Amino acid sequence: MSDIHDKVMYSTIITPFQRRVYLALLDIPAGETITYGALARRIGCRSAQAVGQALKRNPFAPEVPCHRVVAADGTLGGYNGRRDGEQLERKRKLLEEEKGNHR
């Protein structure tokens, strides 16, 4: 098991729901993306918005790669609670770097 998996698994600063979201997200390979809704379904949750809120509070980013989660229409969605500006540009760059490194 990876160090980040253990950090998430045994963290006392996150909720059980956040733990489920973050652990599921660790299974998304670098260079790939998943939608908020698909991640929600993966953990048995019916709310993409709840997943988005958990990701907004991700204390382990970018080790827990919330930048790999995109909107249902394929757009970037948000990052660190922002839907535009510097944070969204950071998400775009992280994804581009991962895709470039995994070709």
What local confidence, expressed as pLDDT, does residue 100 receive? 83
- Specify whether 45 is catalytic: no
Question: b/e per residue, 53-65, with b = 16+ CB within 10 A?
Answer: ebbebbebbebbb
What local confidence, expressed as pLDDT, does residue 55 receive? 96
Could you say which of 24, 25, 45, 66 is catalytic? Answer: 66
Are the CB atoms for 55 and 66 separated by under 8 Å? yes
What structural domains and CATH numbers belong to the chain? 3-101 (1.10.10.10)
For the chain, 103 residues long, the average pLDDT of each consecutive 10-residue run is: 91 98 97 96 97 96 95 87 83 90 66
Phi, psi torsion values for 69, nearest 5 degrees = -100, 125
Q: Record the tokens describing residue 53, joined without a space.
A: 């809120």
Q: Which helix (H) or strand (E) holds 88?
A: helix 85-101
φ/ψ bin of 54: left (φ > 0), alpha (ψ from -120 to 50), beta (otherwise): alpha
